[in-house]
């Protein structure tokens, strides 16, 4: 299967640079898995397309201020660091720019809060954080160890910046709009964007109408947004991301399935978590660990019946995943219709419900 089969042309003006004025005012394209657009709606109408007894499963991961700016100790050259996964306390998988400047044993100093750098430059180095490069990763990143122990987490909120995707170049609004309203477990380098459309009020309305809610955690890292650089889909290797499914959530999912309700994943991260942990969930057991599951057309879904998602980048693993659920031609036709009707695309864009 060729990656080029998942390509499409998107006018730049349709890349959303900011969220809608109200989360649940985004547009919603409802697509039948078996083929064809069912309806064009607004997100707050989501409940109209769900049934009593259905269960939405949401990812409660919270984006951390994962972009840091430091200097190479030996030369003073500026280094940008993107935190991906904390593999043990104070030791992180990261991406660095410029990568050629960071070799094994390179030290990077982070000396002050970004918004107060001038004041901090006049103080002593008591608050400095030093990161040392321990190794390379197989995806071109680095393993950094931060010292003193525990200080990075203590200061991350003021030292780091929210890592908005590179295609969002104009947004200067509230960083909380790049968090879901139910985000509670810190650890993601990017938002699980399908959930950005929910408000607390909409979630309450759904529950009152008989729609059940469950939560999993998958900390979004390189596996979700790493571009596909191979010509053949099957040759791409996913990067592992950490997830947790509680025993309570596993049992709730099984009860829904047994009673005839549908499992609707809110986002591709939830889909990958549930499918990757399906053997445990079916047994009513919780599970935690790392998943590198890669879902593309031909995959046989075990857990989900529907998917709520945003519109994804061309040739991305996310576009391949939704194509696995609804068929490549069905998805590509829906995308062309969304472009024709000027839906807003990507992280701050509109939503699609596949049922």
CATH number of the domain enclosing 153: 2.40.10.240
Q: How confident is the model at residue 112 (pLDDT cuts 50, 70, 90)?
A: low
What value does the CA radius of gyration of the chain take, rounded to a whole number of Å?
21
Residue 125 confidence class, pLDDT cut points 50, 70, 90? low
Residue 30 lies in a domain: yes
Does residue 105 belong to any structural domain of this protein? yes
Residue 56 C-beta-side C-alpha neighbours within 13 Å: 29
The answer on pLDDT for 258 being more than 60 is yes
Looking at the structure, tell me whether residues 104 and 202 fall in a common domain: no
CA atoms in the 13 A half-sphere facing the CB of 209: 18
Same structural domain, 53 and 145 = no
Amino acid 113: pLDDT: 53
In the structure, what pLDDT confidence band is assigned to residue 119 with cuts at 50, 70 and 90?
Answer: very low
* 270 and 343 together in one domain: yes
Structural domain boundaries enclosing 214: 3-63+172-354
Does residue 57 have a pLDDT over 80? yes
The strand order across the sheet containing 287-291 reads 37-42, 27-31, 351-354, 306-310, 263-266, 55-59, 212-218, 241-245, 287-291
Q: Are residues 263 and 297 in the same domain?
A: yes
Residues 257 and 307 in one domain: yes
Q: Is residue 40 located within the same domain as residue 187?
A: yes
pTM above 0.85, yes or no: yes
**Gap between the Cα atoms of 154 and 178, Å rounded:** 22
One domain for residues 55 and 75: no
CATH number reported for the structural domain that contains residue 284 in this entry:
3.40.1780.10
User: Cα separation of 124 and 110, whole Å?
Assistant: 13
């Amino acid at each position: 299967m060729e990656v080029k089969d998942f390509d499409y042309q998107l006018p730049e003006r349709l890349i959303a640079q900011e969220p809608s004025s109200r989360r649940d005012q985004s547009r919603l394209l409802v697509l039948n898995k078996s083929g064809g657009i069912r309806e064009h709606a607004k997100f707050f109408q989501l409940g109209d397309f769900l049934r009593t007894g259905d269960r939405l499963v949401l990812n409660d991961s919270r984006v951390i201020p994962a972009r840091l700016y430091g200097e190479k100790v030996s030369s003073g050259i500026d280094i940008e660091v993107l935190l991906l996964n904390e593999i043990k306390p104070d030791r992180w998988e990261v991406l660095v720019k410029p990568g050629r400047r960071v070799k094994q044993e390179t030290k990077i100093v982070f000396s002050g809060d970004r918004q107060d750098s001038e004041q901090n430059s006049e103080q002593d180095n008591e608050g400095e954080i030093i990161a040392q490069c321990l190794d390379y990763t197989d995806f071109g990143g680095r393993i950094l160890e931060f010292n003193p122990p525990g200080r990075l987490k203590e200061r991350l909120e003021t030292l780091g910046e929210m890592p908005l995707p590179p295609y969002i170049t104009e947004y200067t609004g509230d960083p909380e709009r790049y968090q879901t309203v139910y985000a509670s477990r810190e650890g993601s380098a990017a938002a699980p964007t399908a959930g950005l459309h929910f408000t607390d009020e909409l979630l309450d309305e759904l529950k009152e109408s008989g729609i059940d809610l469950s939560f999993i955690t998958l900390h979004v890292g390189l596996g979700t947004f790493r571009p596909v650089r191979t010509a053949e889909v099957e040759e791409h290797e996913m990067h592992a991301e950490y997830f947790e499914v509680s025993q309570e959530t596993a049992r709730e999912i099984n009860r829904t399935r047994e009673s005839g309700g549908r499992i609707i994943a809110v986002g591709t991260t939830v889909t990958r978590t549930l499918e990757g942990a399906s053997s445990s969930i079916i047994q009513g057991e919780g599970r935690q660990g790392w998943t590198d599951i890669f879902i593309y057309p031909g995959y046989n879904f075990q857990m989900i019946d529907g998917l709520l998602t945003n519109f994804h980048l061309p040739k991305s693993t996310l576009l391949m995943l939704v194509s696995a659920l609804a068929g490549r031609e069905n998805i590509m036709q829906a995308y062309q219709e969304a472009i024709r009707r000027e839906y807003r695309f990507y992280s701050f864009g509109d939503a699609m419900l596949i049922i």
